[in-house]
């Protein structure tokens, strides 16, 4: 697509994938409109943790390429954390293999090493990774996109054909299940408990012998506790018993968490697919549809790499 010939793109979806893709396109000089069902601050992305690391995403080889490109960007953005919401923070990936982690990151993560017994009781990896304050980051993305000449429209669509542009980019996440339709997209429910931070400066991700997840991420003014991965569960209503279990598991790792005052509860539905769909689809009417969805729990991790590839696919539409 040649933006100089009056081309325009509609990006459907206003979460981390949609906004990043729209921003990349807009900064390449393309006229872009984002259609989002929910305000940016109420999308699934706003609920995320959000630590840069692969989680529930396939194919692994491509995800690695997308993630390492995104890491480059996040490291730059971390120079302005109060504006971008991105900080480089140290922590432990429990039950992770240092050699495997080094191989996956191609040596790009500085200081990655085996965790010590003082840092974590089991086998783990100590790393300094991007940790993103999603409400701040989404707001920054939107402002940067608007500054590049883009526009955001809040609207609900019943089909992608409603998008009135030569190129449409489908970043609808779980919505793709109905809009494409693609029944291979399914929800994996995640619940978080947000508490006052009792002094935690590092993050931790752990899985116990029963396969139950526990993690905590320090964000400005609060600590995010998780988590769950409930396949096929659509409810976005916080479950009190699940919340209690999350606090209990996190407190078992750091006792000071037990008495922390609860600020809020969050629920998000990860848009999981057997593999990310990132491809160009010519439409019968001569327009082009670019799909960019199915990132599971790793949307933040791969957002920039996927956005650049989706923008390339949009530009190749002739």
Q: ∠ CA(179), CA(186), CA(37), 5° rounding?
A: 40
Q: Is 20 annotated as a binding residue?
A: no
pLDDT band at 211 (very low <50, low <70, confident <90, very high): confident
- Whole-angstrom distance, CA of residue 146 vs CA of residue 97: 42
309 SS3 class: helix
Q: What is the pLDDT of residue 87?
A: 98
pLDDT of residue 4: 36
Contact present, 200 and 223 (Cβ < 8 Å): yes
301 assigned to a ligand binding site: yes
Provide the 3-class DSSP secondary structure of residue 139. helix
Hey, what CATH topology would domain 3-315 get? Rossmann fold (3.40.50)
Reported as a single tens digit per residue, the pLDDT across 128-142 is 999 999 999 999 999
Secondary structure E strands in 163-261: 167-170, 186-195, 203-207, 213-219, 222-226, 230-231
Q: Does residue 114 register a pLDDT over 50?
A: yes
Annotated binding residue 228: no
Is 272 assigned a ligand-binding role in the annotation?
no
For position 41, what pLDDT does the model report? 83
Average the pLDDT over 263-268 and give the result: 96
Cα separation of 95 and 165, whole Å? Answer: 47
Answer yes or no: is 299 a known binding residue.
yes
d(CA 44, CA 266): 10
> Which of 49, 76, 201 has the alpha carbon at shortest distance from 131?
49
Helices (H), 106-239: 134-147, 176-179
Q: Is the pLDDT of residue 318 over 50?
A: no
Known binding residue 215? Answer is yes
44 assigned to a ligand binding site: yes
More reliable by pLDDT, 57 or 150:
150
Helix (H) or strand (E) holding 151: strand 151-154
Residues 6+ apart with CB under 8 A from 128: 88, 89, 90, 109, 110, 111, 112
Percent of the chain with pLDDT over 70: 97
């Amino acid at each position: 697509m040649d933006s100089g010939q009056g081309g325009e793109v509609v990006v459907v979806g206003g979460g981390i994938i949609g906004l990043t893709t729209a921003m990349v396109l807009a900064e390449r000089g393309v006229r872009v409109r984002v259609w989002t069902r929910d305000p940016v601050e109420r999308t699934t992305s706003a609920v995320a943790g959000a630590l840069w690391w692969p989680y529930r995403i396939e194919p692994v080889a491509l995800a690695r390429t997308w993630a390492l490109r995104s890491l480059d960007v996040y490291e730059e953005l971390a120079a302005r954390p109060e504006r971008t919401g991105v900080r480089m923070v140290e922590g432990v990936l429990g039950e992770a293999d240092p050699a495997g982690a080094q191989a996956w990151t191609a040596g790009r993560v500085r200081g990655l090493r085996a965790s010590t017994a003082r840092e974590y009781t089991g086998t783990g990896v100590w790393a300094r990774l991007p940790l993103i304050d999603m409400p701040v980051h989404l707001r920054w993305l939107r402002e940067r996109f608007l500054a590049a000449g883009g526009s955001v429209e809040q609207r609900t669509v019943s089909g992608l054909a409603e998008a009135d542009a030569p190129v449409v980019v489908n970043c609808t996440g779980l919505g793709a299940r109905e809009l494409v339709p693609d029944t291979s997209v399914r929800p994996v429910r995640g619940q978080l408990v947000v508490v006052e931070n009792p002094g935690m400066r590092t993050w931790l991700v752990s899985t116990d012998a029963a396969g139950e997840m526990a993690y905590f991420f320090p964000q400005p003014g609060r600590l995010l506790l998780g988590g769950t991965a409930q396949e096929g569960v659509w409810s976005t209503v916080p479950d009190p018993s699940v919340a209690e279990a999350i606090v209990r598991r996190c407190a078992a790792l750091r006792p000071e968490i037990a008495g922390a005052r609860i600020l809020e509860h969050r629920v998000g539905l990860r848009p999981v697919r057997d593999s990310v769909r990132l491809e160009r689809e010519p439409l019968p009417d001569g327009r082009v549809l670019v799909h960019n969805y199915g990132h599971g729990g790793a949307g933040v991790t791969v957002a920039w790499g996927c956005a650049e590839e989706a923008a390339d696919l949009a530009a190749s539409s002739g």
